[in-house]
A and B are shown apart, each in its own frame.
Chain A
Amino acid sequence: MTKFLSGLRIEGKLIFPEFIEENYFNTRIESWRNSTGKRFTEKELADFAEEPEFKDGNTPSIMTQELIDRLIKIEKEKWEHEAKVGTAIHNLCEIFFSRQSLKDNNFSIFGDLDSNHILNIFKKRALPETKALLSEK
């Protein structure tokens, strides 16, 4: 489906712009290097808050290559983490709704679908890295 949609064109132009990571970061680096204007997005500022250059609400005046590489690495790791959270949320929703029809039919064997019951099923099924997300808010 995604492949089909991403290939759709009108008059030779893609209907949906393709996400190219390199282009994305080139645009972001250009913004980070600007001397004026809003250089970092709110989310970037939150993501980079633990870095020494961003402590106490500061932003770095000089963007070295080492710093740029570090920020890109942080962003990529955040994306990976968000993807895992997304998968875990989908899994939880699947467990919840896969039992709703049965519950509505009064199949009492499935009992009350309280949160702990669903989380236990999730723990049994989830990959170790998504299991760790259970301890997060």
Chain B
Amino acid sequence: MKQVIDYCKKLKVTIESTYDPKGTGHFLYFPELSLRTTAHDPSKNENVNLSGMIDLLVVPPEGDAFIIDYKVSPADYWREAESDIAVEDLAPDEYSSAKKRAFTYQLATYARMLRKINPTFRNISVLVAPI
């Protein structure tokens, strides 16, 4: 469990040093942030209420936003990205393209929900943090 805390510390340092290398700004952290909005469901052609929980929203000083999603799994999140591994060669317990597609949609939807709730965010980036 201490490794998790160390991971969080590294994640924080990485984000801040990458985004603000001079360390002049102040970052805000919103863990487990609930979002609620409406969206159009094309499959039913109607508006539906959407709610979700962002694992971590980071707001740097410049008005951007980072949505961070922890991926906790014994499977290697990045292995499938290796070009020489075909999806059908992946073990059932590894991240499939379908799972990754779901994550991508989920995070993109969070980003759109966040922009709808707070249009002042300049850029909204989404990051996956495999723990």
The 4 A-B pairs at the shortest CB distance, nearest first, are namely A1-B52, A41-B91, A86-B72, A97-B31
Task: Say yes or no: A1 contacts B31, CB within 8 Å.
Answer: no
Number of B residues contacting the other chain (C-beta, 8 Å)?
43
Distance of A106 from chain B, by nearest CB (Å): 10
- Known A8-B42, A89-B131; contact A28-B92, beta-carbon cutoff 8 A: yes
Most buried by B among A7, A41, A90, A93: A93
- What are 10 of the A-B contact pairs (CB < 8 Å)? A4-B50, A5-B106, A7-B41, A9-B43, A16-B105, A24-B92, A41-B92, A43-B91, A96-B31, A137-B3
Tell me the total A-B contact number using a CB cutoff of 8 A. 104
- Interface of B, helix, strand, loop or mixed by DSSP: mixed
Across the interface, which residues of B come within 8 angstroms of A133, CB to CB? Answer: 1
Q: Return the chain A residue nearest B57 by Cβ.
A: A97
CA distance A100 to B13 in the complex (A): 11
Residue B26 at the chain A interface, CB threshold 8 Å = yes
Contact flag A101-B27 (CB < 8 Å), given A42-B91, A85-B72, A93-B8? yes
Contact code string B36-70 (vs A, CB < 8 Å = 1, else 0): 00010111000010111101100000000000001
Give the interface SS of chain A, mostly helix, strand, loop or mixed. helix
Point out residues on B near A: beta carbons under 8 Å. 1-6, 8-9, 12, 26-32, 39, 41-43, 48, 50-53, 55-56, 70, 72-75, 91-93, 98, 101-102, 105-106, 109-110, 131
